[in-house]
Structures are given as structure tokens and as C-alpha cells.
Amino acid sequence: LLQAGGGGGGTRSLSFSFSLSFIYYEKNNLCLTDHIPHTLQITKQAVDIEERGVKVKLTIVDTPGFGDAIDNTDCWKSMTEYIDQQFEQYFRDDSGLNRKNIQDNRVHCLFYFISPYGHGLRPLDVEFMKAIHHKVNIVPIIAKADTLTPAEIKKMKQKLCENEIEEHDINLYQFPDCDSDEDEEFKKQDAELKDSIPFAVIGSNGTIKNKDRAIRGRLYPRGVVEVHTVENPSHCDFVKLWNMLIQTHMQDLKDVTEEVHYENYHAQCIQSLTHIGAKDRSSRK
């Protein structure tokens, strides 16, 4: 989940709830496995990063252990409640007298990680996304992509996008079309980005020395798999995912949240208040 609020000056304020938590631990020199208990409680960590001279404030919100229990009935409830709480708080602030300094903590994006082992969506994945797709922009991600061959990744992406997502009527975040006046290079990058959905990523909480430079990746007998370097983008889609989020689609994610998801919530609130008012008037007669 990602919340993108307004920041002052040259700072953009973001709050994430997605499993790329190693960004936080990398910046603070922490060990990921030593500091994340597997619970279903919402946890938050804040970190400041700088991207091309622009300061970005991140709050990573995570629920470690999601889907690990024997009985996963309604295990997504804490996340749906969290999203609704942010909508409710924004609705209250927006309805108040002091509307100039509203802090936008609404959730603008959900990065949903799909297991590579089942080669498709599990029933839990389907139920979760169907329970939450009308509340937030969902961007699907294939986790642990280094456990699959390139051919398997391609096949899994096609299966997910062309069959399972459509079959279960799940609404994913729709990437906007390029403006007609964009240059050809940008249009090419945008097409490659859309073709990469769902993003296949690799995680690592350690660095490896490779050719006199330290990189974040995984070491195998066959070589090194690099997680997020521009030199080897074919290793995984992390760079594309990061560029999509930080550089190209942040504003659109915010706009869709404001114009679609929040408006739906707002309409439900108004409808509920109207229904309560009508009920009260009827009881007085």
C-alpha cells in the first residue's frame, strides 16, 4: 500500500505498505530477518531517500506473515480496515473548518506479491484482491523471480494478465496512455513498462562484491543476480517498478485514488448519512 501526501518545498511525502521493506533496512544498516516478526499487525517505518535531487519521504507499512497461517480466513481484514481508516480520517479533515493543512494519508497503491511456486493465483490471492480492488490501486508483482526461468516468468505473466485476472474480474491499476506529444523514446519506455506487468522482482537483504563494486543481489554458482541496477535491467523488473512509482506514475496514482476510490468512499458515506437521516425522520412520525 502506498500513501502519497503533499510535501512542502521540494519534498514529496510518501507512505508505503508493500514488501520491499529492505529499502528501509538498507538505509538504516539493519538486518531484515532480525527485525521483522511475522505477525499480521500493521507496522510502519520511516525513511528519507533522494531521487535525482528530489527528496522523498517514505513510510513503509507492512504486515509480515500475511498468508502464512494455517487458517487464512479474512487475514486481509487488518489491511482493508487500515485503508478505510485513512479514508475516514481524510473525510473528517476535509469536512472540517481547517482544510488548508490536511495531511493526506490515504493509501494510493497496493503492491501485491504473488508467489512464484504455484505458477498462478492462489485462492487467497483472488479473495484478497477482490476484497480490496475497489478501495486501492493494485499493482501485481511476482515475488522471488530468480526461482523461475525467463520462459517461466513470461508464461506466468501471460497467464496472470490474459486469463486469471480477467477470469476473476479483478480490477488492477490501469496505466494511463501516453500523451500524443511525448517523444518516441518516452513512448517506448512506457510500452515496455506496461508489457512488464506483473513486475517480476527479486529481493535481497545483503550486498555482494562484483567486479570491484558492491551490488545488492544474490550469489549463485552460475553467477550473480542483481536486484536493482540499471546496468543489468534484464535480471528483474525492480528498476522498472521503482521508476514507475517514483518518476512517472506517482501523480496518476494519486489522481485515481482521489477521483475514483475516495469518491466511491465519499459517496457511500453521504448515502449512509442520508439513510440514517431518513430513518430518524421516519421514526419521529
Half-sphere exposure in the Cβ direction for 140 (13 Å, CA): 29
Tell me phi and psi for residue 257, to 5 degrees.
Answer: -60, -45
What are the pLDDT digits (tens) for 243-262?
Answer: 888 778 888 988 999 999 99
Peptide bond just before 116 cis, omega within 30 deg = no
**H or E stretch including 153?**
helix 150-159
From CA 134, how far away is CA 10, in angstroms rounded?
32
CATH T-level topology, domain 2-283:
Rossmann fold (3.40.50)
What are the pLDDT digits (tens) for 174-202?
Answer: 988 888 788 888 888 888 888 888 999 88
From CA 45, how far away is CA 24, in angstroms rounded?
7
Answer with the residue of higher pLDDT: 80 or 207.
80
Confidence of residue 82 (pLDDT cuts 50, 70, 90): confident
What are the pLDDT digits (tens) for 92-149?
Answer: 888 777 677 788 888 888 888 888 887 788 888 898 899 899 999 999 999 888 888 8
Percent of the residues in the chain that have a pLDDT greater than 70, as a whole number: 68
From CA 161, how far away is CA 123, in angstroms rounded?
16
**C-alpha cell of 62?**
507492512
Question: Model pTM?
Answer: 0.79
Which of the listed ranges 164-168, 182-186, 208-212, 221-225 does the model predict with the highest average pLDDT? 164-168
Give residue limits of the domains in the chain: 2-283
